[in-house]
């Protein structure tokens, strides 16, 4: 997974002269979405495949679009995207409110939604498309 992320980031940096903030956001976005697909759709089975497609455009600002497809049964993404963001910090712990901040699951899609311009899923919920505007370096 790291190699895929590094390869994509290198392409984005080369093609769009992305700033470090955007590079960091892209790494987080890809890490979260690939981890979700590997963990939930592929059940951590490294024989199962994922498809990652990305494209660039400059109209007028530089934008990168990512599509990640898994071959699982999908999920009801609307339940996650439509939740109040506080839900992700409250749902992890029934006993100690401050422990919920330590929960390692449940906030990835919300984080991706906030780091990108748009997040869309296909009807089945096994393909996600992300758009992110890049702040190109001033040359």
% of the chain beyond a pLDDT of 70: 80
> pLDDT of 57-109, one tens digit each?
987 889 999 999 999 888 888 887 777 666 555 555 554 444 444 455 567 88
Distances (CA, A) of 17 to 53, 82, 113: 19, 34, 23
Is there a contact between 26 and 132 (Cβ–Cβ < 8 Å)?
Answer: yes
Domain boundaries along the sequence of the chain: 2-133
pLDDT at 76: 83
CA distances from 68 to 4, 12, 65, 85, 96 (A): 12, 16, 10, 23, 35
Rounded Cα–Cα distance for residues 9 and 88 (Å): 28
- The reported pLDDT for the residue numbered 100 is 46
Spatial distance between the Cα atoms of 116 and 65, rounded to a whole number of angstroms: 10
Decide which of 88 and 49 is more confident. 49
Name the least confident of 28-42, 65-79, 83-97, 117-131.
Answer: 83-97
> What mean pLDDT is reported for the chain?
83
Q: What is the pLDDT of residue 18?
A: 84
Residue 29 token pair: 């976005």
Query: Domain 2-133, what architecture?
Result: 2-Layer Sandwich (3.30)
C-alpha span between 106 and 12 (Å, rounded): 28
133 in Cβ contact with 56 (< 8 Å): no
Is 119 a residue whose pLDDT tops 60? yes
């Amino acid at each position: 997974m790291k190699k895929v992320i590094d390869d994509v980031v290198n392409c984005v940096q080369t093609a769009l002269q992305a700033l470090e903030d955007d590079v960091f956001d892209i790494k987080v976005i890809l890490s979260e979405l690939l981890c979700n697909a590997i963990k939930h759709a592929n059940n951590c089975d490294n024989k199962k495949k994922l498809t990652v497609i990305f494209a660039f455009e400059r109209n007028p600002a530089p934008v990168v679009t990512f599509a990640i497809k898994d071959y699982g049964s999908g999920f009801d993404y609307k339940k996650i995207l439509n939740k109040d963001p506080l839900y992700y910090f409250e749902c992890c712990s029934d006993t100690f409110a401050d422990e919920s901040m330590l929960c390692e699951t449940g906030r990835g899609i919300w984080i991706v939604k906030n780091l990108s311009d748009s997040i869309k899923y296909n009807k089945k919920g096994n393909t996600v498309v992300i758009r992110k505007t890049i702040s190109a370096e001033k040359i």
